[in-house]
Amino acid sequence: MILDLLNHPTDLWTTLKETDEPIFLYGMGDGAEKVLDALARIGKTPEGVYASDEFVRGHSFKGYPVRRFSDVCASYPSFTALLCFAVDYEPMLSYLTNMSEEHNLFAPDVPVIRTDDTLFDTAFVEEHEAQFDAVYNRLADEQSKAVYRDIIAAKLTGQIDLMRRCESSREEALALLHLHGDETYVDLGAYNGDTVEEFIRTVNGNYRAIYAFEPDKKNFQKLCARVEQNGFQNVHPFCIGAWNEADTLFFKGGKGGRNSMLSKTGTKQVSVDAVDHVLNGAPVTLLKLDVEGAETRALEGAAHTISTHRPRIIAAAYHKNGDLFEIPEAVLSICDSYDVYLRHHPYLPAWETNFYFVPKMS
């Protein structure tokens, strides 16, 4: 069904495999490494790498000299460019949107988590189409269904305009949750405290308690400093990762910040625990999960909390290719009494796509 709704678009990897145009990577770093790996899987080698003119200073990336964008445009009448970095701010979003209209610029979807080695292509969607369809049919409003269609199409094709047309503000999404001044908030993946501060601002400083999990020690220190500097009360930080049981794991695929994940193997040891164990039955009204690919494990570890207290839930759905169906499956298997919404906030590529679960009225 979902592919029929999308009119069976040609996925980006097929387009790239078949093109005779030179392919350029726009940007460097981890994103470019992932795109290089994906291109190798389809037997393609990029012509080169470029950056915005002001950022070129004679350096190279993976053996490619980094060229100025203006020089590439002057040397190649036509080329295909692949965006290899993430952007969440204006005017850069508009600049890239305009560039995609003037040139063949795409934002390829490669999993945020390196250990997810699948490509989001037609074969992947076909394999899981029944699961995609089940989630689509469960979505609570037409906007969620439009976002679901556009995000799947954008992840398939890399078309930037699809990501831009379905975006909405975080404030609009938070309004779905009807937050008030009597909340107990559990923030899984609190990072440097930015989402703790966002929550406190949203409820105008009125709440019961906040429990913030952050496994990376440097980020945890920033979280604690932010809480102290702002004088936030009743905030309980834990330097642990969210999991389905108490354990000692490792960061893998990153340095312990965003874009890394918890694993049984790795280089940086961290403690993890289950929400149910840490909270020991305490009531929760809002649960947020942004835990770098460990969302389903964390949901398992919060099953008693969810089934007993039915908190509103915000869950990131962009770390792994299966998140768009695995996360709703996980939540609804614990408690089926939720309305499910999907929103995409301004970001390229298709990150900051979140599910919002709101308990059904009794």
The CATH number that applies at residue 56 is 3.40.50.20
Q: Would residue 285 count as lying in a domain?
A: yes
pLDDT per residue over 189-210, tens digit each?
999 999 999 999 999 999 999 9
Q: Would residue 244 count as lying in a domain?
A: yes
Question: Are 192 and 294 contained in the same domain?
Answer: yes
Q: Would residue 330 count as lying in a domain?
A: no
Which of the four pLDDT bands, split at 50, 70 and 90, describes residue 361? confident
**Sign, Cα dihedral of 291, 296, 300, 302:** positive
| In contact, 105 and 158? CB cutoff 8 Å | no
Domain that holds residue 15: 2-165
Question: Are 197 and 263 contained in the same domain?
Answer: yes
Q: Would residue 215 count as lying in a domain?
A: yes
Give the end of a domain, one of 134, 165, 196.
165
Question: Are 174 and 80 contained in the same domain?
Answer: no
Question: Are 83 and 32 contained in the same domain?
Answer: yes
Question: Are 178 and 294 contained in the same domain?
Answer: yes
Question: Are 153 and 183 contained in the same domain?
Answer: no
Which of the four pLDDT bands, split at 50, 70 and 90, describes residue 116? low
Question: Are 148 and 217 contained in the same domain?
Answer: no
pLDDT per residue over 284-342, tens digit each?
999 999 998 999 999 999 999 999 999 999 999 999 999 999 999 999 999 999 999 99
Question: Are 137 and 56 contained in the same domain?
Answer: yes
Mean pLDDT of the chain: 94
Q: Would residue 347 count as lying in a domain?
A: no
Q: Residue 258 pLDDT > 60, yes or no?
A: no
pLDDT number for residue 111: 83
Q: How many domains does the chain have?
A: 2
The C-alpha atoms of residue 50 and residue 32 are separated, in whole angstroms, by: 11
Give the end of a domain, one of 114, 137, 165.
165
pLDDT per residue over 3-13, tens digit each?
999 999 999 99
Which amino acid, residue 313?
I
Question: Are 241 and 118 contained in the same domain?
Answer: no
Question: Are 84 and 105 contained in the same domain?
Answer: yes
Question: Are 174 and 119 contained in the same domain?
Answer: no
Q: Would residue 237 count as lying in a domain?
A: yes
Q: Would residue 336 count as lying in a domain?
A: no
Question: Are 266 and 189 contained in the same domain?
Answer: yes
Give the end of a domain, one of 142, 165, 188.
165
pLDDT per residue over 13-69, tens digit each?
999 999 999 999 999 999 999 999 999 999 999 999 999 999 999 899 999 999 999
Residue 191: give its domain's CATH number: 3.40.50.150
pLDDT number for residue 327: 98
Q: DSSP for 64-122, please give it.
A: EEEEEHHHHHHH-SS-EEEE-S-B-STTHHHHHHHHHHHSEEE-----SSTT-----SH
